[in-house]
Structure 1
Amino acid sequence: MNREEINNLFGVTDQQLDRMAAEYEDGDWNGTVGQITPGRPRIYDEELETVSFRLPKSRLKAIDADAKAKGESRSQFLRHAIDQALLASGV
């Protein structure tokens, strides 16, 4: 997940976060944190399954380089690639 996706998940902007941080650091923040849920935020509203398969090292290096250039993890890159392939095939 990149920074913009995380901000969207929590309904905030970088500017709002910077303002809240400045208020907190100055001792003027009156906000609340809200409910804290341990663990990573859910990325889907359904149960997830692990998928495992093998790729040539050169293909994996290309995936990692492209993912890094886009600010994504390998898993994010592969999920997006699969989503795009499914959309292209009308699923």
Structure 2
Amino acid sequence: MNREEINKLFGVTDEQLDHMAAEYESGKWEGGVGPIVPGRPRIYDEELETISFRLPKSRVNAIDARAKRNGETRSQFLRQAVDDALLANA
């Protein structure tokens, strides 16, 4: 499928796409997805704090394996594990 066919399928022209791209790149895009905020999307509505602790390598490997099976990052898995533990003891 070439560019003209794709444009026709979506009902746009190259000029319209160029205009939308210029708005997006200038930070003025209001295409229905909300304001442009630089950086990663926030995962919480409050400030985050970094913590660190040491675990045996075998546990880190087990965490990584479980996270991978769940389609998560290590951090996502650990945040959920902490949330689950806190809720269980609430």
TM-score range, shorter chain: 0.5 to 0.7
Give 1:67 deviation, angstroms.
0.1
Instruction: Return structure 1 stretches of 4+ with deviation > 3 angstroms.
Output: none
Consecutive unaligned residues in structure 2, runs of 5 or more = 21-30
Partner of 1:38: 38
Consecutive unaligned residues in structure 1, runs of 5 or more = 1-24
CA–CA distance in 2 between the matches of 1:84 and 1:66? 15
TM-score normalised over the length of structure 2:
0.66
CA–CA distance in 1 between the matches of 2:34 and 2:51? 34
Give 1:45 deviation, angstroms.
0.4
Give 1:26 deviation, angstroms.
1.8
TM-score normalised over the length of structure 1:
0.65
Give 1:88 deviation, angstroms.
0.3
Question: Secondary structure of the residue that 2:85 maps to in structure 1?
Answer: helix
CA–CA distance in 1 between the matches of 2:73 and 2:49? 18
Partner of 2:67: 67
Give 1:34 deviation, angstroms.
4.2
CA–CA distance in 2 between the matches of 1:70 and 1:62? 12
Aligned residues: 66
CA–CA distance in 1 between the matches of 2:37 and 2:72? 23
